[in-house]
Structures are given as structure tokens and as C-alpha cells.
Amino acid sequence: MNKFLQLVTLLCFVMFITVALAGETTNRIIVNADLGKEQISKHIYGHFAEHLGNCIYGGFWVGEDSPIPNTRGIRNDVLEAMREIKPPVIRWPGGCFADTYHWKDGIGPRANRPSIINTNWGGVTEDNSFGTHEFLDLCELLECEPYICVNVGSGTVQEAAEWVEYINSDAVSPMTELRKKNGREKPWNVKYWAVGNESWGCGGNMTPEYYADQFKRYATYMNAGRLYKVASGGTDPDFAWTRTVMQKTQAYPNLIQGYSFHYYSFCRGWNDKSSAIQFNENDWFNTMKVTWVVDERLRQHSSIMDEFDPNNRIGLIADEWGNWFWVEPGTNPGFLYQQNTVRDAVTAALYLNIFNNQCRRVKMANIAQTINVLQAMLLTKDNQIVKTPTFYVFKMFKVHQDATMLPLDIQCEDYKFEKEQVPAVSASASRDAQGKVHISLANMNPNKNIELSIDVRGAAKFAKSAGEIITGPAMNSYNDFGKPEQVNIQAFKDFKIKDNSLVINLPSKSVVTLELSN
């Protein structure tokens, strides 16, 4: 009888434990190494450099007579830093600025170039010393591809067509003769061209029907070379704009190769942003929440594109993305200068994981922006330079450029705050040309380490493993001028691997990349 009671007691205890644990989620990722077929385009790791604040002037460009060391007017410290992250493509000159920019004002002897008032950003006067030749020189120095946005809002079809001819043609023509007169004998052969920017707003306040017709006009005459022409998308939830543009260009496959998508994480909303560095967990959580939204947005736009482009010929081009917070106190509100913290690093990893996992349709992405503006890679002040937490995410994630995306299944707990919740872990994986597998992870929870198991299936047994981590002492840790870095890449060893199965202790508010090799 006593043994029977003991058995019943034991069974009750097991049932109690089972019920108690029923609400808990096992944090597990399965990486299907034998199912990879899509390539993660290196252009997903692209950048955006607009004539905005000190992105161009004081950021990239200081001029040849500057005491700051430079190469033909371009800062050497910026060149050196950018080479660390292997930028594949840079988008220029905007942004909203593109639809006020007339390219002929930015060529020829600099002393003779007319100035321009930047009506979109700060109302400052620019001297046009950084123009077409300077931008394309920058791209050659960085060994990256240019991505140029033409002026549809206040420009003309002729102006756009002549810009393409000036840059790409090797025929005898007035534009090629003008290029040679200005010092460039051979064409640059620029492939990527955006036909307008945010044409629903600062690019002309157009309807989707009107813009689609304008796109076809411009794209018809932009024909010097084999171009990759990108149509302007609507606002991120405007699926009707996507459907209209795809429908109205369906009969003209030679005109459209890409479709633009913009998304910014505003924390609480356009008029209710948070400080970039003085924020609480509510601001942190809301930033994670609104960033997760981009995953579903991309899937919805891709689904519409699949209806009209079942062969996946047209790329979804996320050519503006990132965090948008209040400017730093005491700075020009129109310059959009903000600091960059651990929060930015975690959201950058979340964005990039989403782009990696949706690389079937997403063929390019350009973070806003490269230097001194919004979620920047670099900050400059006089002759000083700061590498931001986001810079280090791009440096860590460059292993995914042109690698094969490995599909994964993820089951994870939620990060809960008050009455809301989001997935606590984001991940993506790839295999590079040398056969190395890289798994990138981000922990959204700023308070809790997460124990995570990863099974890599369909791969030979790995003999070597290594890890890197980006985190900081606090949610708002950041790097600043004249101070030791608080946030950068460190070695990560808090994981175990056996027979291609890993157990990881993923620290709170962190970004981790693991490398597995034979």
C-alpha cells in the first residue's frame, strides 16, 4: 500500500511539473544546411549618403585644401573605416534632396559651380563642390557600386537621360564630350538607377497612377547601358501603390528591374520619437516592436509582386531603413544628427536578419545613413571619427555578403513588456564560398540572458567553431569622441558544440555571430 501511495505521489508530482512547464517555450533553432538555394546579395549591406546635414560635407567630403588628411578631398579616416565593412553599394544624392538636385550644377571646375539652397534639410547653402565626379571617385576608392537617384520631382526626362549618357556612354555625343572635358575619358558604367524618390511625398506628391506613367517615360529614355532601374514605392503599408505600379509596368519588363521600399523605426510615431540616448525600457521595447513589423511588411509587398512577377525578376529594394530618433540637443533639427547605442545595434541586426531571410525577393538595402545622419555608421567632428555600434554590426555581418541563405526554423520565448510581447530572438544563417556556416543572433530582451539550442542539419561534422559578440554595459551604451569605446566586437565563447548541435547562452541586449567550419 505504501509503495502504491509513493507511486501515485510520484505520478502526481510529474504531472504537476509537466503542467507547470507547459507554458514555457523551448528556445530552439534548426538550421537546414542542405536546403539553401537563395543567395544573400551583398547589396543588402548597402549604404545611403544624402546631401543632408554633415553626411557629405564634413562627413565624406572636406575638400583637397583641408588640414584633415584626405584623398582628392575625401576623408582618409572615413575611407579606412568604410573599407572595414566592405560597402557593396552607396545610394546618392538622396532621398528628398534628389528631387531638387540638378546634376549639371555639380560638374566642371568647382569654382564655377553655382550654389544650391538645401530646402529639404536645414535650409543651408551648398557650393556643389561634391558632385557626380566626386561621388563616383568615392565609389572607386571604396571599390563599391554607385546607386544614383534621378530627379523626377523637379527635373525633366531630358535631364535624366543626359545624366545617364554623361556617366555611361562611350559614343561620340555632347554629353560624352562634356565628361571628357571635365577630366573623365572612360565611362563609369553605373548600373543602378532610381527613378525618383518617395514620389508620393517629397518627390512630387503624386498618385500611384501618375507616378507609374512618369516612371515609364523616364525609364524609356534612360537607356545608355544595361541599367537596373528602380521604381519608387509608396509608404511602407501602401499596398495599393505597389499593386498599381506592378500592374502598370507589367507589359514593360525591360523598363523595371527593382521596386523601392522604405521603412523607419520611429519608436512611438513620427511626432513622438524618443531620444537616441536618454530612453527607458518602454522606448526600447517599442523600437523592437515597430522594427519587427518590417518582416510582415516585406512579405506582404513580396506577395503582391509575386502576382505580377512570378519569376522573381524584379528586386525589392529596401533603399532607406533604420532608426529615427530626436536629434541631439543643440544641433540643427534639419541635420538629423543622432547618437547610436546598443539599441541601434540590436535593431540593425534584426533588420539584417529579416533581409537575409527574405533574400529571394530583397536584392538590395541601404541603411539611412552612412555618416552623421540618423542611424549612422560613423560620426565625425573636425579631425575626429567615431565608429558606432551599428558600424560594428555591419562589420560582423559582412560574412553573409553573397553567401547562400540557409533556411531555419525558430522557436523562442517572447520578450514581454507590460501587456505586449515580441519574439525575443532573431536569427539568420548562411554558408559562404569556403563552406563556412555563419549564424547571426540578436536578443531583444535587455534584461534576460536566453539559453538557446541550435541544430545544424544536413552538414558534415564541424571541426572548428568561433564566436563574436556586440553588447554594452547598458541599453544606452554608446561610443563618443575622445572616450574609450563602450560598444564594439568582442570574442564570444559562451557556447558548446557537439555533433553539430550547439547550446548557447545568449546575453541580454546582444548581437552574436557564430562561425562553424570543417
Q: What is the pLDDT of residue 374?
A: 97
CA–CA dist 118, 57 (Å, integer): 12
Q: What is the DSSP letter of 419?
A: T
Q: Is residue 4 part of a domain?
A: no
Pick the catalytic residue from 50, 126, 162, 198. Answer: 198
**Are residues 366 and 492 both part of a single domain?**
no
Q: How many CB atoms lie within 10 A of CB 133?
A: 19
Q: What is the pLDDT of residues 481-509, one digit of tens each?
A: 999 999 999 999 999 999 999 999 999 99
Q: Which of 378, 402, 426 is the last residue of a domain?
A: 402
Could you confirm whether 198 is annotated as catalytic? yes
Could you confirm whether 468 is annotated as catalytic? no
- How many residues comprise the chain? 518
For residue 369, give its domain range.
42-402
Q: Any idea what the CATH number is for the domain that residue 468 is in?
A: 2.60.40.1180
Q: What is the pLDDT of residue 194?
A: 98
Helix (H, G, I), strand (E, B) or coil at 62: coil
Q: What is the pLDDT of residue 26?
A: 87
**Are residues 291 and 440 both part of a single domain?**
no
Q: Is residue 460 part of a domain?
A: yes
Which residue do the cell numbers 546582444 mark? 510
Q: Is residue 466 part of a domain?
A: yes
Domain count, the chain: 2
Pick the catalytic residue from 50, 320, 413, 468. Answer: 320
CA–CA dist 78, 376 (Å, integer): 12
Helix (H, G, I), strand (E, B) or coil at 18: helix
Q: What is the pLDDT of residue 21?
A: 39
Mind spelling out the 3-state secondary structure of 492-516? CCCEEEECCEEEEEECCCCEEEEEE
Which stretch of DSSP H or E encloses residue 318? strand 315-323
**Are residues 81 and 181 both part of a single domain?**
yes
Q: Is residue 13 part of a domain?
A: no
Q: Is residue 11 part of a domain?
A: no
CA–CA dist 358, 273 (Å, integer): 28
Q: Any idea what the CATH number is for the domain that residue 215 is in?
A: 3.20.20.80
| CB contact set of 322 (below 8 Å; sequence gap of 6+) | 264, 265, 348, 351, 367, 368, 369, 374, 375
Q: What is the pLDDT of residue 441?
A: 98
Positions of the chain with pLDDT lower than 50, given as ranges: 1, 4-5, 7-23
**Are residues 191 and 209 both part of a single domain?**
yes
